[in-house]
Amino acid sequence: RAGAVVCRSAKMSFPKYEPSPLATLPSTLDPAEYNVSPEARKAQAERLAIRSRLKREYLLQYNDPKRQGLIEDPALLRWTYARSANIYPNFRPTPKTSLLGALFGMGPLLFWFYVFKTDRDRKEKLIQEGKLDRTWNISY
């Protein structure tokens, strides 16, 4: 018959995959994808259940026609609090943070001290030499 598909064998055999030295192993062929312990499967199922419950709660709040205010995400609130308002318990001093603190803390002060001091010294030198025009200056 024309156009008919004939299945010759129930089991097809594929050649064994050999990874190329220049390419990574596809995720579908990764043994860790399939050889998962029952404990890991249970943990994945629990995480999926938590995610789906949170997603359902969010969608119920989001699609509520009588919604008045903002939808608050507790995980986002915890993350924001840990990032901004609760810095010191989570802060680890390192040489990099110490140098950055000194640079941004003392750097501007030293810069402006240098600018004002050199400008004042330049004007003082011009005044002593009599080269500065001070016709309208009252304060100095």
Q: Is the dihedral of CA 19, 24, 25, 28 positive or negative?
A: negative
Q: Which residue type does 49 have?
A: A
In a domain, 108, yes or no: no
* pLDDT given at position 27: 72
* pLDDT given at position 15: 77
Q: Specify the number of domains making up the chain.
A: 1
* pLDDT given at position 22: 83
> Which structure tokens are listed for 115?
């600018």
In a domain, 103, yes or no: no
In a domain, 125, yes or no: no
Which pLDDT tens digit goes with each residue over 116-134?
Answer: 999 999 999 998 998 888 7
In a domain, 63, yes or no: yes
**Higher local confidence (pLDDT), 114 or 69:** 114
Whether the CB-CB separation of 61 and 71 falls below 8 Å is answered with yes
Task: Answer yes or no: pTM beyond 0.75.
Answer: no
* pLDDT given at position 42: 94
In a domain, 115, yes or no: no
* pLDDT given at position 140: 59
Q: Which domain holds residue 45?
A: 32-94
Which pLDDT tens digit goes with each residue over 11-63?
Answer: 667 777 777 788 877 777 777 777 778 898 899 999 999 999 999 998 999 99
In a domain, 57, yes or no: yes
**Higher local confidence (pLDDT), 56 or 89:** 56
In a domain, 130, yes or no: no
Whether the CB-CB separation of 122 and 115 falls below 8 Å is answered with no
In whole angstroms, what is the distance from residue 86 CA to residue 78 CA? 10
The residue with tokens 């043994």 is 31
In a domain, 140, yes or no: no
